[in-house]
Structure 1
Amino acid sequence: MQNSEIPASRRGFSVSGLGEIAIRCIDFDAMVRFYRDVVGLEVLAERGTGLVFFGLGNGVEGHTSVLALFAADRNPDLGVARIEGSTLHHLALSLSQADQAAACRFFESERIPYRTEEFAWIGWRGVFLSDPDGNTVELVSAGWPVTP
Structure 2
Amino acid sequence: MSEAKTTPQDPAPVRGFAISGLGEIAIRCIDFDAMTRFYRDTLGLAVLADRGGIVFFRLGNGVEGHTAVLALFDPNLNPERGTPGLSGSTLHHVALSLSQHEQQAACAWFDTYGISYHVQNFDWIGWRGVFLTDPDGNTVELVSAGWPVTRDA
Normalised by the size of structure 2, how large is the TM-score?
A: 0.47
